[in-house]
Amino acid sequence: MSLLVTGSIGIDTVETPFGKRDDVIGGSAVYFSYAASFFTPVRLVGAVGEDAPKELFDVFGEQEVDTSGLEVRKGSKTFRWHGSYVQDLNEAVSIQTDLNILAEAAPKIPEKFIDSKFVFLANPHPALQQQMAANLKKPRLIVADTMNLWINTARPELLKTLKMIHGLVLNDGEARLLTEKKNLIEAARDVLKLGPKFVVIKKGEHGCLMCSGNDVFVLPAYPADRVVDPTGAGDSFAGGFMGYIAEKDEFDAETLKTAMAYGIVAASFNVEGFGVERVQEITRDDIEKRMSEYRKMLSF
Amino acid sequence: MSLLVTGSIGIDTVETPFGKRDDVIGGSAVYFSYAASFFTPVRLVGAVGEDAPKELFDVFGEQEVDTSGLEVRKGSKTFRWHGSYVQDLNEAVSIQTDLNILAEAAPKIPEKFIDSKFVFLANPHPALQQQMAANLKKPRLIVADTMNLWINTARPELLKTLKMIHGLVLNDGEARLLTEKKNLIEAARDVLKLGPKFVVIKKGEHGCLMCSGNDVFVLPAYPADRVVDPTGAGDSFAGGFMGYIAEKDEFDAETLKTAMAYGIVAASFNVEGFGVERVQEITRDDIEKRMSEYRKMLSF
B242 CA: distance to closest CA in chain A (Å): 16
Tell me the residues of A at the B interface, defined by beta carbons under 8 Å apart. 89, 182-183, 185-186, 189, 203, 206-207, 209, 216-225, 227, 254, 257-258, 260-261, 295, 297-300
ipTM reported for the complex, 2 dp = 0.84
Whether the predicted pLDDT of A88 surpasses 90: no
Residue A103 pLDDT greater than 90, yes or no? no
- Is the CB of B182 less than 8 angstroms away from the CB of A219? no
Answer whether A223 sits within 8 Å of B216, measured CB to CB. yes
Q: Which residues in B lie closer than 8 A to residue A230 (C-beta atoms)?
A: none
Model confidence at B291, pLDDT cuts 50, 70, 90, reads very high
Distance (Å) from the alpha carbon of B88 to chain A's nearest alpha carbon:
9
**Chain B residues touching residue A294 (CB < 8 angstroms):** none
Q: For the stretch A106-123, what's the b/e string if a residue is b when 16 or more beta carbons lie within 10 angstroms of its beta carbon?
A: bbebeeebeebbbbbbbb
Beta-carbon separation of B297 and A209 below 8 A: no
Q: In whole angstroms, give the CA distance from residue A36 to residue A4.
A: 10
CA distance B283 to chain A (A): 22
| Residues in A touching B225 (Cβ below 8 Å) | 183, 185-186, 189, 216
Q: Please report the pLDDT score of residue B239 as a whole number.
A: 98
- Is the pLDDT at B257 greater than 90? The verdict is yes
Q: pLDDT value at position B180?
A: 96
Interface test with B, best of A89, A189, A225 (most B CBs within 10 A): A225
Task: Give dist(CA A35, CA A55) in Å, integer.
Answer: 18
Q: What is the arithmetic mean of pLDDT over A238-258?
A: 97
Q: Between chain A and chain B, how many beta carbons pairs sit less than 8 Å apart? A: 75
> For A282-291, how does the pLDDT look when each residue is reduced to its tens digit (9 = 90+)?
999 999 999 9
Contact across the interface for B254 and A219, Cβ inside 8 Å:
no
pLDDT higher than threshold 90 for residue A293:
yes
Give B14's strand partners.
B21, B83
**Distance from the B185 Cα atom to the nearest Cα atom in chain A, whole angstroms:** 6
C-alpha distances in Å from residue B204, one per residue of B119, B173, B211 = 23, 10, 17
Residue A190: is its pLDDT beyond 90? yes
Tell me: pLDDT of B226 over 90.
Answer: no
- Mean pLDDT calculated for residue range B231-238: 97
Looking at the partner chain, which of A182, A217, A300 has a beta carbon nearest the beta carbon of B261? A300
Among all residues of chain A, which has the CA nearest to that of B300? A258
The 10s digit of each residue's pLDDT in B126-164 is: 999 999 999 999 999 999 999 999 999 999 999 999 999
For residue A17, the chain B residues in CB contact (below 8 A) are: none
User: If pLDDT is split at 50, 70 and 90, which confidence band does B91 have?
Assistant: confident
pLDDT digits (tens, 9 = 90+) for A169-189: 999 999 999 999 988 999 999
Closest CA to A85 of A153, A33, A12: A12
Distance from CA of A227 to the nearest CA of B (A): 9
Cβ <8 Å between A223 and B225? no
Query: Are B244 and B259 within 8 A, CB to CB?
Result: yes
User: Which whole number is the average pLDDT over A133-142?
Assistant: 95
**Residue A89 pLDDT > 90:** no
Residue of A186, A206, A299 lying closest to B206 (CB–CB): A206
| SS3 of residue A300 by DSSP | coil
Query: In the prediction, which pLDDT does A228 show?
Result: 95
- H helix and E strand count, chain A: 9, 13
Which string of DSSP letters, residue by residue, matches chain B?
--EEEE---EEEEEEETTEEEEEEEE-HHHHHHHHHTTTS-EEEEEEEETT--GGGGGTTTTS-EEEEEEEEETT---EEEEEE-SS-TTSPEEEEEE-GGGGSPPPPPPGGGTT-SEEEE-SS-HHHHHHHHHHSSS-SEEEE---HHHHHH-HHHHHHHHHH-SEEEEEHHHHHHHH--SSHHHHHHHHHHTS-SEEEEE-GGG-EEEEETTEEEEEPPP--S--S--TTHHHHHHHHHHHHHHHHT--SHHHHHHHHHHHHHHHHHHTTSSTTTTGGG--HHHHHHHHHHHHHHT--
Q: Give the closest-approach CA distance of B223 to chain A in angstroms.
A: 7
Does the pLDDT at position A142 exceed 90?
yes
B225: confidence class by pLDDT, cuts 50, 70, 90: confident
The predicted pLDDT at position A100 comes to 93
Q: Identify the closest residue of chain B to A221 by CA–CA distance.
A: B218
